[in-house]
Amino acid sequence: MITDGFTYVAVIVFFAGAVVWAEKVFKGTVFKYVPAVVIIYFGTMLLSTCAVWEKTDDVNLYYHLTKRNLLPVMIFLMLLRCDVRKIITLGPRMLLGFFTASLSIMLGFIIVYASLKGLYEPDTWKSFAALSGSWMGGTGNMVAIQEALHVPGGKMGYALLMDSIDYAIWVMALLALIPFAPLFNKWTKSDTRVLDQIGRYLNEAQEKVRHHSEFPDLMVLIGTGLLISALSMYLAGKLPTTVFITPTAWTVIMVTIAGIVGAMTPLARVPGSSQLSNASLYVLVGLIGSRANFAELTQAPLYIISGFLIITIHAVILALAAKVFKLDLFTCAVASLANIGGVASAPILAAAYSKALIPVGVLMAMLGYIVGTGGGLLVGKILSLL
């Protein structure tokens, strides 16, 4: 049994690295259906259930220090890829589709929670808030909200189950709808000619960007990320707090703003932010899983059903909006997956329609990183009042 804090963190980082390496080597196996981040969470959760480590004072200290200091770095580096100026080039129709999808997800969480709140465990609103952040952005947003609202690791197990199972079914449904795009577009009376033009423009812009990162690139990104993190935490300690807006929440807000601003500077053109932010994310997910226990997942079916109800509400609202605003199926489907699936899956769905539209999926998913944390915290605030 591990009782030393450094060893505990080292084992989690090693395990996360082993899963990522396995995903690269065995692409066509279980990783085709279950993302590495989910395997890392439930893998560390299994190790915790088997008492591989003990929650000693030293282990708890390293857990809190690592998580508290790594989270702002991850958020800042993640948002460096989200240039608002490029996102605006998507045009009003696609932005309308994206924000309609985000709003429908928020409404889905609120309606389902209000309807079934008597069946949930206490403080379930916190894990719902974290998951809503993920379903409007990505796992990084979920981790940020989890830390801001101090959601216990066991509660996050339900969120990850919903995020994995319900999301996987929804991806398959969206892919299955592709052959019916002409019928859907005829029903909504949408004009799809502008899509190809936007896709070609974004593809040409993407080809001009340097993708290979070098040692100086990584050092600049790590140093800047750590400095922004330190400054944000220092300033957060000086700001007024409430039960809902904690110092951690202030830190998340400030690094989010710093990341959005940084994405419009030359720093955004330094390659490597994606790899570094993903590495931070995987370590953070491993840390969260290490505090949970499978014995705590006693109401998993209820939460999985709740996830499907949320997606159903989301799909109905999005379809009605498509009819009213004459949106095509590509815009609706990619907007939905850019929210619920993020940058890992939205480009895949876009490519299934046309490879020229891959950048559209990427940019829409990037927009989710910007709105996910704020949207999830807003959902949390509403659910807490219910």
Could you give the CA distance from residue 171 to residue 351 in angstroms, rounded to a whole number? 14
According to the model, what pLDDT value does residue 223 have? 93
* C-alpha dihedral (67, 263, 249, 131), degrees to nearest 10: -80
* C-alpha dihedral (73, 78, 83, 86), degrees to nearest 10: 180
Could you give the CA distance from residue 238 to residue 241 in angstroms, rounded to a whole number? 9
According to the model, what pLDDT value does residue 212 have? 75
Confidence at 331, pLDDT banded by 50, 70, 90: confident
Could you give the CA distance from residue 365 to residue 378 in angstroms, rounded to a whole number? 20
Would you say residue 217 has pLDDT above 70? Answer: yes
From its phi and psi, is residue 272 left (phi > 0), alpha (psi between -120 and 50) or beta?
Answer: left
Confidence at 337, pLDDT banded by 50, 70, 90: confident
Name the E strands within the chain: none
Read off the pLDDT of residues 96-118 as tens digits, 9 standing for 90 and up: 888 899 899 999 999 998 888 88
pTM over 0.75: no
- Three-state DSSP class for residue 221: helix
* Residues 349 and 58 sit within 8 Å (Cβ to Cβ): no
What average pLDDT score do residues 214-228 get? 91
Would you say residue 69 has pLDDT above 90? Answer: no
According to the model, what pLDDT value does residue 226 have? 93
**Residue 320, Cβ neighbours under 10 Å: how many?**
12
Could you give the CA distance from residue 224 to residue 218 in angstroms, rounded to a whole number? 10
The DSSP annotation for 321-344 comes to HHHHHT--HHHHHHHHHHHHTGGG
Map tokens 């030359």 to a residue: 266
Give the domain ranges of the chain.
80-272+294-385
Single out the residue of 317, 358, 371, 349 nearest to residue 105, CA to CA.
317
Q: Which range, 2-6, 78-82, 168-172, is most confident?
A: 2-6
Map tokens 């969470």 to a residue: 41
Single out the residue of 344, 368, 299 nearest to residue 106, CA to CA.
368
Would you say residue 192 has pLDDT above 80? Answer: no
- The DSSP output letter for 163 is I
Would you say residue 196 has pLDDT above 80? Answer: no
SS (H, E, C) 55-105: CCHHHHHHHHHHHHHHHHHHHHHHHCCCCHHHHHCCCHHHHHHHHHHHHHH
